[in-house]
Amino acid sequence: MTETPFQDYPVLVAALYRFAPVADPAALRERLIALCGEEVRGTLLVAHEGINGTIAGPHDAILRVVNGIHAEPGFDRLELKYSGANEMPFYRMKVRIKKEIVTMGLPNLDPVNGVGAYVKPADWNALISDPDTVIIDTRNDYEFEIGTFKGAIQPNTKTFREFADWFEKEGRDLVNRPNPPKVAMFCTGGIRCEKATAYLKSEGIPEVHHLEGGILKYLEEIPEPESLWEGECFVFDERVSVGHGLKLGEHTLCRACRMPVSPEGLKSPKFVEGVSCERCWDERDEERRAAYAERQRQIELAKQRGSAHIGTDAKIAAEQARIRAAEEREKARLAALKAKQQEADA
């Protein structure tokens, strides 16, 4: 087997994306599903503009998928970052067709030809330490809260779709100066910045830069004593957060709102495993919390039985439930037709 990084970990995680034309997303989806097989889990998004996602599995299986994507027309190059995990960080494999591989809601942007200047992690500190640089964190508010670069501005967005609106209302004032500043933008793996920098350039902002490979590449390459990163980086899988050297972070996930919970947050009386945390406590009524509590009870019972409440077994159970529901709908439809016919005959 070809040597892969993070050999000390049994599970290899690959975060990847590439903006390249995809003529037939549905056909590519089928090829990716076959390529991933039973060993690989995670999520891949496919659109006419490219591929984006994170997958995990045995080292040889991940290499097989990556090599298979490389073989697709236009995907000979990938923005690819590896990390390791002690346990599988995903429950299932999903390959989904989307309008955009990262949703900004601006379909006419050209993230291939209109993108900002890439900055290597080794050169990033010098750029953001320049007092004439405006540093913008393009991620969402809950990601910013657990870690960011010193001096970064966060638009307080809930979703990336809100970024353009923030720039029009607030962000433009940060760069509208007689001598326009340099703009340095960053995100988790780099893909959001591909579109965010293209957007700023389309709005006439001249000097727009972004961190090549994103925060994850920076944390992988820059030693902690030299780093300007503060806190941890949220990741969209069961690891929840990582730190310098991409080591597993200290945050866990609230299973009710899917938001990160700090070690301090675990001590809150509003944190109940699988039910609520400080962030979502006031957003749920007692009936909703009771439903989450029952779901958590079922998960714990499944663990005690040694079965999977979420994952392959649950997928089978969900499919069976879907079939039963379809059968019930068909029965109801036939009964309605019969009743209508009897009414007509009368």
Highest mean pLDDT among 84-93, 226-235, 336-345: 226-235
Structure tokens at 213: 């490979």
Total-model pTM: 0.78
> What is the per-residue pLDDT for 188?
95
pLDDT category of residue 301 using cuts at 50, 70 and 90: confident
Q: For residue range 223-282, list pLDDT tens digits in order.
A: 999 999 999 999 988 899 999 999 999 999 998 899 999 999 999 999 999 999 999 999
pLDDT category of residue 329 using cuts at 50, 70 and 90: low
Q: In this structure, are residues 135 and 218 in contact, taking their beta carbons and an 8 Å threshold? A: no
> What is the per-residue pLDDT for 300?
85
Residue 316 has pLDDT above 50, yes or no: no
Query: Which has more pLDDT, 202 or 324?
Result: 202
Per-residue pLDDT averaged across 149-176, rounded?
95
Per-residue pLDDT averaged across 138-155, rounded?
96
Per-residue pLDDT averaged across 296-312, rounded?
71
Q: What angle do CA 143, 77, 12 make, to 5 degrees?
A: 55
Q: Nearest to residue 196, comparing CAs of 105, 71, 85, 297?
A: 105
Question: DSSP letters of 38-56?
Answer: TT-EEEEEEETTEEEEEEE
> What is the per-residue pLDDT for 302?
79
How far apart are alpha carbons 152 and 183 in whole angstroms? 11
Average pLDDT of the chain, as a whole number: 89
Residue 60 has pLDDT above 90, yes or no: yes
pLDDT category of residue 156 using cuts at 50, 70 and 90: very high
Q: How long, in residues, is the chain?
A: 346
Query: Which has more pLDDT, 6 or 26?
Result: 26
> What is the per-residue pLDDT for 5?
74
Catalytic site positions: 187
Per-residue pLDDT averaged across 51-70, rounded?
96
Helix boundaries (H) for the chain: 25-36, 59-70, 121-129, 141-146, 163-166, 172-175, 191-202, 214-221, 286-305, 312-345
Q: What letters, b where the CB count within 10 A reaches 16 and e where it falls short, cover 45-80?
A: bbbbbbbbbbbbbbbebbbbbbeebeebeebeebbe
How far apart are alpha carbons 279 and 50 in whole angstroms? 34
**Coil, strand or helix at 241:** strand
> What is the per-residue pLDDT for 174?
93
Residue 8 has pLDDT above 80, yes or no: yes
